[in-house]
């Protein structure tokens, strides 16, 4: 069970999800009584906002299209202790949420990823998406020297310090990749929980484009490697240019050693230019790596400035220090009226 003071907020990005959004909101409230559900209507042309409000969600509108824009705004606007991100298409099972939240607290972790299970009866996880997801998992894990099973999952639970230290640069569906890389680059405590994944109901259509969104994710991974691992990125380019320079230049040097002449003067200029460019890009990579280290240290300090999620037992074992008794010669301060606490979320037993 959670303490009454634990604030849990669910963020539900939606674009034309009037068929499913009400059920998602009701399922979340059933799974975690007292949870505050925020539905972000992202340029919908149907009755998504009305259905969400009727189900008891707080509805906000984000006019910039893209899931990344929704997450960026929600992370900035919403103040909570625990954050839940779930799609509004009713493909994720909300009943797993208590387990995910308890896992976050018991760690304590800053990020719990819902890993979709292969369901033979479901067609929602299309073969093209499954193969692409596996490829991205391995590529990202190799590049950032970490492991992830389902980096494109849209069902996650975060701590407050994860959310408030996350830059949120992505605009569209590549936001899941950025969330995963943020966890990897700062080496934040994270774990995974297996979840069920089901088909969309009749009349509900996926907004994903296998190839278009796949190329966006590849572009984001490339950009993140350039920013987060500049020595690797520029080191590969430097090595390629240096090898090309040697391939062009060594025959010219050998010929000069034998004859004292340089008959292929343009080739010699090209080889020298390639080697100079290789040294230049190598220097850029080393400089950016130093800047990256300073940036990560700053991000780490900002992350450490926020408290970790603690279990109720830990909170009770570290009670707040009470003020000492005032001397009798000093007037005692008059107590002030404290505001009544707002209702908080509790997990279903």
What is the reported pLDDT for 44?
Answer: 92
Do 205 and 245 sit in the same domain of this protein?
no
Do 249 and 145 sit in the same domain of this protein?
no
Domain boundary among 168, 199, 228: 228
What is the reported pLDDT for 146?
Answer: 85
Q: Which domain holds residue 130?
A: 8-228
Q: Is residue 336 part of a domain?
A: no
Do 224 and 234 sit in the same domain of this protein?
no
What is the reported pLDDT for 242?
Answer: 95
- Spell 288-322 as b/e; 16+ CB within 10 A means b: bbeebeeeeeebeeebeeeebbbeeeeeeeeeeee
Do 224 and 236 sit in the same domain of this protein?
no
Do 77 and 146 sit in the same domain of this protein?
yes
Q: Is residue 320 part of a domain?
A: no
Total domains in the chain come to: 2
pLDDT tens, per residue, the chain with 349 residues: 565 678 999 999 999 999 999 999 999 999 999 999 999 999 999 999 999 999 999 999 999 999 999 999 999 999 999 999 999 999 999 999 999 999 999 989 999 999 988 654 555 555 556 677 788 888 888 878 788 888 889 999 999 999 999 988 888 878 888 899 889 888 999 999 999 888 766 555 555 555 666 677 777 778 778 887 889 899 999 999 999 999 999 998 888 888 888 788 889 999 999 999 999 999 999 999 898 888 888 888 888 888 888 765 565 565 544 444 444 444 444 544 444 445 455 554 4
Do 140 and 269 sit in the same domain of this protein?
no
What is the reported pLDDT for 320?
Answer: 46
Do 155 and 203 sit in the same domain of this protein?
yes
Q: Is residue 103 part of a domain?
A: yes
Q: Is residue 101 part of a domain?
A: yes
- Spell 110-121 as b/e; 16+ CB within 10 A means b: bbbbbbbeeeee
Q: How much is the pTM?
A: 0.74
Do 37 and 141 sit in the same domain of this protein?
yes
What is the reported pLDDT for 316?
Answer: 58
Q: Is residue 194 part of a domain?
A: yes
What is the reported pLDDT for 321?
Answer: 41
Do 49 and 189 sit in the same domain of this protein?
yes
Q: Is residue 137 part of a domain?
A: yes
Do 202 and 77 sit in the same domain of this protein?
yes
Do 204 and 223 sit in the same domain of this protein?
yes
What is the DSSP secondary structure assignment for residue 330, as one 8-state letter? S
Q: Is residue 317 part of a domain?
A: no
Q: Is residue 242 part of a domain?
A: yes
Domain boundary among 304, 326, 342: 304
- Domain of residue 214, CATH code: 3.90.550.10
Do 261 and 182 sit in the same domain of this protein?
no
């Amino acid at each position: 069970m959670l303490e009454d003071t634990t604030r849990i907020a669910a963020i539900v990005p939606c674009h034309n999800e009037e068929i499913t959004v009400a059920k998602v909101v009701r399922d979340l409230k059933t799974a975690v009584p007292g949870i505050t559900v925020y539905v972000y209507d992202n340029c919908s042309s149907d009755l998504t906002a009305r259905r969400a409000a009727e189900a008891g969600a707080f509805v906000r509108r984000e006019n910039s299209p893209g899931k990344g824009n929704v997450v960026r705004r929600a992370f900035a606007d919403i103040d909570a202790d625990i954050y839940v991100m779930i799609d509004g298409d009713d493909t994720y099972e909300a009943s797993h949420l208590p387990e995910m939240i308890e896992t976050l607290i018991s760690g304590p972790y800053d990020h719990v990823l819902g890993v979709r299970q292969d369901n033979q009866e479901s067609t929602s996880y299309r073969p093209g998406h499954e193969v692409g997801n596996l490829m991205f998992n391995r590529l990202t894990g190799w590049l950032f020297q970490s492991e992830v099973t389902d980096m494109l999952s849209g069902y996650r639970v975060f701590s407050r310090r994860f959310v408030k230290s996350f830059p949120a640069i992505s605009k569209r569906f590549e936001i899941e990749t950025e969330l995963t890389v943020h966890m990897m680059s700062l080496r934040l405590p994270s774990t995974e929980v297996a979840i069920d994944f089901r088909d969309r109901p009749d009349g509900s259509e996926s907004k994903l484009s296998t190839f278009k969104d796949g190329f966006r994710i590849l572009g984001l991974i490339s950009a993140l490697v350039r920013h987060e691992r500049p020595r690797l990125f520029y080191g590969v380019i430097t090595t390629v240019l240096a090898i090309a320079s040697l391939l062009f230049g060594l025959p010219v040097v050998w010929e000069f050693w034998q004859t004292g002449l340089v008959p292929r003067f343009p080739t010699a200029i090209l080889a020298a230019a390639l080697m100079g460019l290789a040294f230049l890009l190598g220097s850029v990579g080393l400089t950016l790596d130093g800047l990256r280290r300073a940036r990560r240290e700053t991000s780490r300090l900002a992350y450490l400035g926020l408290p970790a999620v603690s279990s109720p037992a830990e909170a009770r074992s570290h009670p707040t220090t009470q003020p000492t008794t005032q001397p009798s010669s000093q007037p005692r301060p008059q107590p002030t009226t404290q505001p009544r606490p707002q209702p908080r979320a509790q997990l279903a037993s």
